[in-house]
Structure 1
Amino acid sequence: MRPTQALRGGGDIPLGKYNHYLGTWGNFGSLKQKGIVSYGIAPNRQNPLAGAFHDAIFNTWRRFRNQVIYFAPPMIAGYYVLNWAIERNEYLNSKAGRAEFGGEE
């Protein structure tokens, strides 16, 4: 079994397909690669907030639309239960409610 290049360690011995040693970590000794093009833009030429407000509105709507089915029904049910409880409490503490249910408690 052949050990990996990392296990061979040390020295400037020729390794690899073309017998070229790249060097140790942080000290690569290979030639510059050809045919690789990279583009950049200066930081003072960028617009970091381009389209941020437009995207925020539509992204918020999309997320709300996908999540409303999970929180709206419990909130609506809770509202109706709370409303019923408040009305029932007001009735039981009224003159008519005390007359109807006053002797049971």
Structure 2
Amino acid sequence: MGHGFGELFKLRGIVTYRISPFELKAFAGVISHGFPNTVRRIAENVLYIVPPLAVGYLVYDQAERKHHQLMLKNPADYENDK
């Protein structure tokens, strides 16, 4: 029972190899693979994201303009007030 976590049992007849996380290069390929992959993924999803956002903004803007227009007072209603 004195084994640590991850070593709770023994596998016999199976050979496994591991690389220590301290020996891995944390930023290997970030410039050569990571950046182009990020650009590709963004370009693939632009057509799914931008049109709904644009339509939502246009609807919101028109609603705000109409609301502002309806909130204005009509000067003709106050011509005879003195």
TM-score range, shorter chain: 0.5 to 0.7
Larger Rg: 1 or 2?
Answer: 1
Distance 2:47 2:13 in 1: 57
User: Does 2:37 match 1:51?
Assistant: no
State the identity %. Answer: 27
- Pair 27,86 (structure 1): closer, same or farther in 2 beyond 3 Å: closer
List gaps (5 residues or longer) in structure 1: 1-24, 29-41, 100-105
* 1:53-96 CA-partner distances (Å, limit 9, x unpaired): 44332211100111111111110000000000000000000124
- The alignment's C-alpha RMSD in Å is 3.1
* Length-normalised TM-score, structure 1: 0.45
Question: Of residues 9, 12, 25 in structure 2, which corresponds to 1:26?
Answer: 12
Aligned length: 61
List gaps (5 residues or longer) in structure 2: 1-10, 78-82
* Length-normalised TM-score, structure 2: 0.56
Q: Which amino acid aligns with 1:75?
A: L
Q: Which amino acid aligns with 1:26?
A: R
